[in-house]
A and B are shown apart, each in its own frame.
Chain A
């Protein structure tokens, strides 16, 4: 039985917001009986793009993560709903029946992803329904996917075995690994969002002139063990990435032949730019 899944590649999202606009275009002013009532014009973000900036100075990057109903196989909202107001379709899509769900605010509260919105005017919970109404009418993919200019969003309809293989091959992760809801939305390159880096710039002074130092050896240690080892680039820059946030004390050793090794002690919470590390002659 093939089922729908959404793959979100964090490295490709530019926050162009076409996906969120397409959701508004589709649902504001339109009701789809059996699927969804009208979406309020403002304030509901059935797809919401989270922003994460990392670093400081000229060593920064920014990741955007589209989040939405995760269409969980063990969906807490289904458990919380009365009268079968929320159900799981055979194709994996979770639907909230706009009539049966009336007054059931606990469906909103049940979602650990904050992806269900309360429509005050209509007294109903609402979410991104994977465009089930369109897929049932023969559309090939949800609208957020077809408007995405970078393929940061991909919809695939495969059986669970095939999906697991894609998860393994493409190193996909759940948005919240701490939860056990079995989401059908899978994230790629999530480290851009939920990991930290330690960065810096290596320079040297020769004859009164300061220059960037390429190929300086940068070693990152934790508790005496080498965590990572790399060379500075043509601008003297180095960036050790994919470190756990709040992962404690590290030592950064910067060395180059002919120069005295420089050491920096870092306690990592969010990403940090150590700034310029000037090596001086070993003599």
Chain B
């Protein structure tokens, strides 16, 4: 049988060569002799590939290029005989029952050629009558049809469903029936891809810093200044792979740190939690451990009152759209601007649902220092507290409820714990200060009468609290210095009002669409092809369906991401884990360097630019120029941000130039059911719409090529091309039960049928409010994390909503920044703070509206023409800084003026936009500029790219956390005087700050 199978193989090649020109081309790429045999050479066949021709013979060749060796003929038969059992194949590979010998590149090429023979007949995309081919892709802001003619993208459009797509859901509320439109509502940055693919700053070929010699003078001090020269892929890959080897040889495993931004693309294959993680585990790296960015306050704060560690501290979400529309009398949007960020990843799918609030005349309130986009769209009462002071406003609301009896006493009695302690604090028993509306006025700037009016309405109406960009978590005030206080006060208010009762819940109609979540398709954190069973949801979500060679990082050393500059410059860094499994996961301390481990001497940067997104970003500028960092490689699509601090640049291609597969807004293990933001579950075959621009390659191909140079090629690829992994992912999902592969790749997308009304899950927290077992289809908290019975109570120690947190009481009861009950402490970043004198304006830097982090911004993209995104002044597109007209007048600034925004950390040149949408004393500009453009020496000059994170504070929100507090910063704004110099006055790193204090 083994011999028969081997005899068939060349025939598969011959038939594919005869039928498909693309396979003919592939065969002609290499000449080689492939020997397939048993280990004892008792049976075998060789195939000679020569100039596109195929020759084959039984027996053993005397000079094979590549050998595929099976332990026995029986094993070979089992592994090669269709249907292929993946688990058996993986087992055989793990146990070395099958081996690939010979040069790695040839071996991988041959294995991928076998795959190519199977796929040669696939027809991807739909031929349109106008001569274009319509492909599909998925972006962070929604799915696109991509129309291509002659290898060029003609246009991109939102997908429009057709008659084959399943019926949409509908919701009945107050006698009206609501149903969503049958298309995908995109985020602005999704309609920007054509200009991003063809951006002038695309990296077209590998480059090396001109004065960097890996075998000689490295001129590290010139990073950020030196120019670049074009090199070949071979040279680039040789330098990078030999540096990887040198690091391990000279210093030991872990001397390489790998670092990536959060989202520069979308999909389950070429993603940072997929292919990149697979590669980094394969070579062994120190992980730059992420903080729960954009969820900061929730994870380190609210979590301790209501659990939810597996949603990064966010709340439950099912059923809240129906409940809100049917039962709520009022919705309070508190630092909640879903129209700007589309929840997150959600495009503008939630917009139509929030419009229904208007259709039903539900009363709306918006609390935000900025009259935000959601307030603009929906209208309602605007309350404008000073940034970072919202916790004081919340305490005053609680004060009114307590003193006027406007809260749910029965609920507090039955479902919560520790209320008395909090109540006493609010009433002033602890410090003699009643947290009354009058008390909060001097902090927040909000008139006491408005607070009282709001509290009375809220206490008398069934009210939804729309908190953060997703309604129950994410963005907004959770990212400022008082983010933990804010999220904690938010959930405590809900604890007083009966969270889970009809019309009383958290949500902004962004999450909780009644979709069928039992249909399995993996999200981006479900492990993809990472093989990483420890650090992704692979083990719990995907591995059973898609067995793959496991990967495990041999280095357990971590660097807290926000302390990466400290790790490199000071040689020491500390932080805390983001371990979402339990509430206590975050109490584990990270110390770098880990005992006995190698310090980091090489940085592998991948993905998005970081100078625009990470706090006090001049630290990173200094880090890149530290002699402790001997080698920096940056694998990037565009030449932007921190790319030009690298020694070697590897040009990657975009999503539209490679294959992938992904579902809109499905974050998998990172945030369960985040795809419930979308009106229909949409899964896309993310086609390779056009060839990669220039010599750019897909991330997977770059990693494969490096892996081959390290002998890891067959381990890394399993002999698969990207498209083969896509097919494997398709097969692993529930898609094949509904659509054939052939049809899927032709149409490009699949819409999952909506959940039938009778199967829709109940409303979030209703079970809790009614004292029943949890009845929601979500495996969280962990079974062992329930206190009494399985499914009984919240994740907290008591199972109740805890006004006084057991976990914080246990961990650090005396921590003044994060005491067991939430208290208000004025921000440590204020005009009165040491070192911040002379910086009177509070700068808010919320998530950007038009770009997604750095994706979409810069790149000479279409977004540059949006006046609220960037402003064109004298041939340069400047980042927009919003100012209240009074603050602007005091400084002689008008709309369209160039202004220098600065403090002791950095200086940024922006374009002023005067607006009444901000209260006096507050400036606003988005975080996340992709462009870093120092006008002189990096770190010692004004940036005109717009990286406002150069100004945000270094320290964590609370000491016992690993969190950014970059939602606000104290700054001064002055008209631009042309002086490009900047001298930092604040200590650069934690280590330098300690040294400065000691010197004093």
The chain A residues found within 8 Å of chain B, CB to CB, are 12, 14-18, 20-22, 24-26, 28-30, 41-43, 45, 51, 53, 55-62, 137, 143, 146-147, 149-150, 203, 209-212, 233-237, 276
Contacts and interface: CB of A to CB of B under 8 A. Distances in A.
A24 B379 contact: no
B917 A146 contact: no
18 contacts: A14-B339, A14-B373, A22-B157, A22-B191, A24-B862, A25-B191, A53-B915, A146-B158, A147-B158, A149-B352, A150-B352, A150-B355, A203-B449, A210-B447, A211-B449, A211-B453, A212-B449, A234-B457
B967 to A, nearest CB: 21
B553 interface: no
Contacts of B152: 29
Nearest to B128: A137
B452 A211 contact: yes
A203 B130 CA distance: 66
Contacts, number: 125
Contacts of A53: 915-917
B376 A14 contact: yes
B452 A58 contact: no
Interface stretch (B71-79, B380-388, B423-431, B699-707): B380-388
Interface-centre pick from A59, A234, A235 (highest chain B CB count, 10 A): A235
A41 B155 contact: no
A60 B916 contact: yes
Interface stretch (B2-10, B180-188, B719-727, B734-742): B180-188
Contacts of A147: 157-158, 186, 191
Contact of B916 (A12, A30, A55, A150): A55
B371 interface: yes
Contacts of B339: 14, 16
Interface-centre pick from B454, B868, B916 (highest chain A CB count, 10 A): B916
B160 interface: yes
A151 to B, nearest CB: 8
B335 interface: no
Contacts of B850: 17
B156 to A, nearest CB: 6
Given A14-B373, A53-B917, A45 B865 contact: yes
Interface-centre pick from B156, B450, B860 (highest chain A CB count, 10 A): B450
B842 interface: no
A62 B917 contact: yes
B156 A25 contact: yes
Interface residues of B, number: 54
Interface in B895-928: 915-917
B916 A41 contact: no
B158 A137 contact: no
Interface stretch (B22-30, B192-200, B592-600): B192-200
B865 A20 contact: yes
Contact of A137 (B130, B156, B384, B453): B130
A29 B194 CA distance: 10
Interface-centre pick from B155, B371, B383, B452 (highest chain A CB count, 10 A): B155
B864 interface: yes
A237 B363 CA distance: 14
Interface string B352-378: 100100000000000000010100110
Top 8 closest A-B pairs, CB basis?
A149-B348, A149-B185, A21-B191, A212-B453, A24-B862, A14-B377, A62-B376, A149-B351
A18 B376 contact: no
A12 B157 CA distance: 21
B917 A60 contact: yes
B157 A143 contact: yes
Contact of B194 (A25, A150, A236): A25
Nearest to B438: A209
A16 B157 contact: no
Given A25-B191, A60-B916, 19 more contacts: A16-B348, A24-B865, A25-B156, A25-B192, A30-B154, A30-B155, A43-B872, A53-B916, A53-B917, A56-B916, A58-B382, A60-B371, A146-B157, A146-B160, A150-B348, A150-B355, A210-B448, A210-B449, A233-B381
B679 to A, nearest CB: 11
Nearest to A44: B865
B84 interface: no
B866 interface: yes
A28 B188 contact: no
Given A25-B156, A62-B917, A18 B195 contact: no
A17 B866 contact: yes
Given A25-B194, A28-B194, A61 B130 contact: no
Interface of B: 130, 152, 154-158, 160, 183, 185-186, 188, 191-192, 194-195, 198, 339, 347-348, 351-352, 355, 371, 373, 376-377, 379, 381-384, 447-450, 452-454, 456-457, 850, 860, 862-868, 872, 915-917
B155 A43 contact: no
A30 B147 CA distance: 12
A20 B850 CA distance: 12
A143 B454 CA distance: 42
Contacts of A210: 447-449
B449 A236 contact: yes
A25 B155 contact: yes
Nearest to A62: B376
Contacts of A18: 186, 188, 191, 348
Contacts of B453: 211-212, 234-236
A58 B152 CA distance: 49
A16 to B, nearest CB: 6
A210 B456 CA distance: 14
A29 B199 CA distance: 12
A18 to B, nearest CB: 5
A26 B860 contact: no
A232 to B, nearest CB: 11
Nearest to B866: A17
Contacts of B381: 233, 235, 237
A253 to B, nearest CB: 21
B450 A235 contact: yes
B194 A58 contact: no
A234 B380 CA distance: 12
A29 B449 contact: no
A150 B450 contact: no
A56 B373 CA distance: 17
Contacts of A25: 155-156, 191-192, 194-195, 862
A18 B185 CA distance: 10
Nearest to B383: A58
B365 to A, nearest CB: 9
Nearest to B351: A149
B866 A20 contact: yes
A102 to B, nearest CB: 24
A53 B916 CA distance: 7
A16 B865 CA distance: 13
A42 B186 contact: no
Contacts of A150: 348, 351-352, 355, 377
A43 B191 contact: no
B915 A29 contact: no
Nearest to A30: B154
Contacts of B379: 61
Contact of A58 (B183, B186, B384): B384
B332 to A, nearest CB: 13
Contacts of A14: 339, 351, 373, 376-377
